[in-house]
Amino acid sequence: MTLRHVNAPKFQISRYGEWKDPVDPWLDPSKLPILEGGCLGDLIFGAKAVVMVDFDIDKDDPAYEYLHGFRTLMSMPSFDHGEALNMTLMLSREPNAFVETLLPQVVWPFHFLGRDVYNLRIREPLIVAHHPIAYELNVV
């Protein structure tokens, strides 16, 4: 899930393992589904790592089509400049599939992932901006 291309209280589903035609969230963010509220809204705006065991999604929840049939959910926020702009979910169809005591070991890498994603996002524009400067320096 991501908050990057929408305004609160909306969020987007940026990846989903059961999509027949996956969308590249970096190239086509406008094609990502936009949701508001419900279980996923509470998770992403809560910005906390959570394990939900014996999970059962309500049929009226906006994310029902994405979460129906899953029984355990683990959420892991990814921070960019101190703000949780993305959240990754691990889901299992088995109840009690994830142990809450393992949460810190799983979440820490996601904190670093947020920084890595930011660095990848700014890399190309920096290369493009640096090219004319490097050319001028070579000429001089």
pLDDT of residue 13: 97
User: What amino acid occupies position 113?
Assistant: L
pLDDT of residue 108: 67
Q: What is the pTM of this model?
A: 0.76
Rg over CA atoms, the chain: 18
pLDDT of residue 79: 78
| Cis amide linkage into residue 33, ω under 30° from 0 | no
Domains of the chain: 10-139 (3.30.450.40)
- Write out pLDDT tens, residues 19-52: 999 898 888 899 999 999 999 999 999 998 899 9
pLDDT in tens, the chain (140 residues): 999 899 999 999 999 989 999 898 888 899 999 999 999 999 999 998 899 998 999 999 999 999 999 999 999 888 777 788 889 899 999 989 988 877 777 766 666 666 676 677 778 888 888 888 888 888 87
| CB neighbour list of residue 64: distance below 8 Å, 6 or more residues apart | 57, 58
Residue 134 to residue 35: CA distance in whole angstroms = 44
| CB neighbour list of residue 20: distance below 8 Å, 6 or more residues apart | none
Which residue's entry shows tokens 């987007």?
12
Residue 69 to residue 50: CA distance in whole angstroms = 19
Contact 24, 2 (CB under 8 A): no
